[in-house]
């Protein structure tokens, strides 16, 4: 009878252990059904209550606006796992649940971190693209100003060249007049020194022509 009672006790423990394993297996299947695919959650955001905790590691900044379906799944899973763990009496079953929960939590949090990093990268890229567009627009404006400045510079250079030519012509005319006045004065001085000299007017007599033009000069 003692051996029979011991055998019945062992069978009962085995049956309870198998029942715990079946419950754990069913919980794992439910959690896998709830687990969202990466395609559906990469950029998804859901309307959630403000009381939902935001998973956020130290190296990653997140706000309630960054909450996605993954955060909802994680919160519901941890709540369900905690309730289920309390219903398990055997230490073996609790350890199994803890191990599964830890692995599942790591998987979900890794996905959340990847989604957040991708979102942050997109924001940075959008900002860089905006800055590039602004700088490109500024460069186009500067190019237009440069083209206008080059046109004005060419015009000013042409006007400067014309002024230089006029200045050179004026200087040459001034020098010619100065030389003519000096030559006229030399002729007058010569006539005073030689009053009896015969004056011959002709096209080849430059001093005589200068004397004739002294009223003009």
- Per-residue pLDDT in tens (0 to 9) along the chain, 217 residues: 544 444 444 455 555 555 555 555 554 444 444 444 433 333 434 444 456 666 776 677 777 787 888 888 888 888 888 888 888 888 888 888 889 888 988 888 888 888 888 988 999 999 999 999 999 999 999 999 999 999 999 999 999 999 999 999 999 999 999 988 888 888 888 888 887 776 665 555 555 556 555 555 5
For residue 68, being part of any structural domain is answered with yes
Question: For the chain, how big is the Rg over CA atoms in Å?
Answer: 53
Domain count, the chain: 1
Instruction: Please check whether residue 2 lies inside any domain of the structure.
Output: no
Closest CA to 88 of 16, 161, 13: 16
Residue 140 located in a structural domain: no
Give the C-alpha separation, 187 to 190, whole Å: 5
Q: Is residue 196 part of a domain?
A: no
Tell me, yes or no, whether 132 lies in a domain.
no
Q: Does a structural domain hold residue 99? A: yes
Q: Give pLDDT, residue 45.
A: 40
- Structure confidence at residue 150 (pLDDT): 94
DSSP E strands: which ranges in the chain? Answer: none
Let me know if residue 17 belongs to a domain: yes
Which residue intervals of 35-90 are DSSP H helices?
38-41, 69-87
pLDDT at 52: 66
CA separation, residue 1 to residues 5, 11, 14, 138, 217 (Å): 6, 15, 20, 98, 160
Which structure tokens are listed for 17? Answer: 């252990």
Structural domain span for residue 54? 13-124
Other CB atoms closer than 10 Å to residue 97's CB: what's the count? 21
Return the exposure string of 139-164: e unless at least 16 CB atoms fall within 10 Å of the residue's CB, then b.
Answer: eeeeeeeeeeeeeeeeeeeeeeeeee
**Number of other residues whose CB lies within 10 A of the CB of residue 187:** 19
Note the pLDDT of residue 74. Answer: 85
pLDDT of residue 137: 95
- Looking at residue 158, its pLDDT comes to 95
9, two tokens: 């006790």
Residue 162 lies inside a defined structural domain of this protein: no
Q: Please, what is the Cα angle at 95 between 94 and 100, to 5 degrees?
A: 100
């Amino acid at each position: 009878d003692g051996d029979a009672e011991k055998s019945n006790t062992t069978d009962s423990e085995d049956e309870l252990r198998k029942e715990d394993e079946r419950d754990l297996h069913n919980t794992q299947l439910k959690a896998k059904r709830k687990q969202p695919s990466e395609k559906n959650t990469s950029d998804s955001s859901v309307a959630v209550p403000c009381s939902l905790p935001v998973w956020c590691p130290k190296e990653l900044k997140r706000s309630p606006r960054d909450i996605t379906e993954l955060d909802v799944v994680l919160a519901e899973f941890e709540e369900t796992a905690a309730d289920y763990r309390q219903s398990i009496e055997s230490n073996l079953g609790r350890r199994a649940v803890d191990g599964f929960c830890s692995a599942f939590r790591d998987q979900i949090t890794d996905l959340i971190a990847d989604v957040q990093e991708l979102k942050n990268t997109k924001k940075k890229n959008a900002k860089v693209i905006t800055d590039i567009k602004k700088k490109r627009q500024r460069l186009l404006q500067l190019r237009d100003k440069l083209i206008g400045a080059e046109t004005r510079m060419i015009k000013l250079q042409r006007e400067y060249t014309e002024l230089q030519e006029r200045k050179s012509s004026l200087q040459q005319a001034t020098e010619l007049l100065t030389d003519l006045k000096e030559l006229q004065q030399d002729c007058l001085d010569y006539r005073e020194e030689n009053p009896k000299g015969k004056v011959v007017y002709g096209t080849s007599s430059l001093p005589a022509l200068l004397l004739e033009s002294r009223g003009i000069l």
